[in-house]
């Protein structure tokens, strides 16, 4: 390491030590945000308030209503007596779904006819309504199968095999918990925002204190200044990222299925990318307030919307997918999920690794070029 880089590293460590806000922002805030968002963000649709209008009042109708209530997906919230009351409860938001069993339900089943029931869902929350509709379909199909088996048993045909049986096997997230999907995204989201914001102040702080001009006219070269500024933040960010991984494992059960060395390599590359981007912003801005706004605008919304954290990229229009190419969190998140959730090797994410490396090189080069221009102005 160049003799001119070590003093810069020592100076930056001293500066961070004298500024507990920066140290806390880098070291503690990511872990705290993971806990808060990890518990707050939950896409699992359970305990849907259900209103049951049983106009048939038979054993079969009660059995069907029980098939809904016995699951963890629906909770009996009301027993309306009329269809007008069902509409009122849905309109007031006191129930999110309603099961209406008409008169003659049991008689139709006993006669071997098709019995009709009605399920009403509150579609104001489209995602929850779509998931609830899937639950309804599964419960009704299971109930219908049990009725059919009883009918075949009465006719002495129970020994005949069912033509088709389905045994679904779910890999990587057997319990279908949304937190397993969200935690890797939270890691990418939190690290990107926090690291870029904290490092975007690194060079700006020197400008505000008037020491930047002295550094620029010193023998220190721009790339040496960038390296000296990056190393301290890189080491602290590495500690912070491992704290986040530990919290994800202890609190949410999201362990590392794949290779830790590959995970470490991806994290280091991503942190270098975020640090380089933050330093680039720092070389452009004149004050810390001016650096904060572009750091937020270029990390918060793009990472949240265009990285695949919440919304799958494959469902977006082609133009939006093209824009997401310049979002580094997209590559990091894809590689992170491959390693942590699926336990995949480099063959599954090598293209994401290359994309992240290209973005890192571009951001680092741009930051060095900006510093060289400022140095020429200072010398001129």
Write the pLDDT tens digit of every residue in 182-219: 888 888 888 888 888 878 877 777 777 766 666 656 66
Residues 6 or more apart from 167 whose CB is under 8 A from it?
A: none
pLDDT at 335: 92
pLDDT at 71: 87
pLDDT at 264: 92
pLDDT at 51: 93
Residues 6 or more apart from 226 whose CB is under 8 A from it?
A: 276, 279, 364, 367, 368, 371
Asked if pLDDT for residue 36 goes beyond 90, the answer is no
pLDDT at 165: 67
pLDDT at 158: 56
Asked if pLDDT for residue 227 goes beyond 80, the answer is no
Lowest mean pLDDT among 19-28, 46-55, 331-340: 19-28
> Which whole number is the average pLDDT over 174-183?
78
Asked if pLDDT for residue 1 goes beyond 60, the answer is no
How does pLDDT run across 73-111, given as a tens digit for each residue?
899 999 999 999 999 999 888 999 999 999 998 888 888
Separation CA 307–CA 125 (nearest Å)? 23
Give the residue with greater pLDDT, 223 vs 128: 128
Pure H helices in 93-177: 105-110, 126-154
Strand extents, DSSP E, the chain: 48-54, 74-78, 97-101, 118-121
Ordered structural domains, the chain, with CATH: 5-41+177-379 (no CATH), 48-154 (3.40.1710.10)
What is the percent of the chain with per-residue pLDDT over 90, rounded to a whole number? 18
Asked if pLDDT for residue 9 goes beyond 60, the answer is yes
Question: Which pTM does this prediction carry?
Answer: 0.75
> Which whole number is the average pLDDT over 333-342?
90
């Amino acid at each position: 390491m160049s003799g001119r880089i070590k003093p810069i590293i020592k100076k930056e460590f001293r500066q961070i030590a004298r500024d507990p806000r920066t140290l806390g922002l880098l070291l503690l805030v990511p872990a705290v945000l993971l806990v808060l968002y990890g518990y707050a963000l939950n896409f699992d649709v359970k305990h849907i308030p259900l209103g049951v209008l049983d106009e048939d009042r038979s054993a079969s109708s009660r059995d069907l209503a029980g098939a809904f209530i016995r699951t963890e997906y629906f909770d009996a919230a009301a027993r309306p007596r009329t269809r007008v009351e069902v509409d009122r409860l849905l309109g007031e938001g006191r129930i999110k779904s309603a099961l209406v069993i008409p008169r003659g339900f049991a008689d139709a089943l006993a006669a071997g006819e098709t019995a009709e029931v009605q399920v009403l869902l509150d579609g104001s929350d489209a995602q929850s309504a779509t998931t609830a509709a899937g639950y309804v379909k599964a419960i009704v199909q299971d109930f219908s199968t049990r009725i059919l088996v009883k009918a075949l048993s009465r006719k002495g045909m129970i020994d005949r095999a069912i033509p088709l049986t389905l045994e679904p096997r779910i890999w990587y997230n057997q319990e279908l918990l949304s937190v397993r999907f969200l935690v890797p995204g939270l890691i990418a989201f939190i690290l990107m925002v926090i690291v870029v914001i904290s490092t975007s102040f690194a060079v700006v702080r020197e400008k505000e204190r008037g020491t930047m001009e002295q550094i620029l006219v010193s023998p220190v070269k721009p790339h040496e200044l960038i390296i000296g500024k990056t190393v301290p933040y890189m080491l602290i960010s590495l500690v912070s990222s491992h704290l986040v991984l530990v919290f994800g494992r202890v609190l949410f059960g999201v362990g590392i299925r794949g290779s830790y060395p590959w995970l470490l390599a991806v994290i280091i590359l991503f942190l270098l990318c975020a640090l380089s981007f933050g330093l680039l912003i720092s070389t452009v801005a004149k004050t810390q307030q001016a650096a904060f706004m572009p750091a937020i605008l270029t990390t918060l919304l793009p990472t949240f919307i265009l990285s695949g954290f919440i919304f799958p990229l494959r469902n977006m229009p082609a133009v939006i997918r093209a824009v997401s190419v310049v979002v580094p969190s997209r590559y990091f998140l894809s590689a992170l999920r491959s390693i942590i959730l699926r336990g995949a090797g480099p063959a599954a994410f090598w293209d994401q690794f290359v994309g992240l490396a290209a973005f890192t090189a571009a951001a680092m080069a741009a930051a060095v070029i900006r510093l060289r221009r400022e140095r020429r102005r200072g010398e001129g």
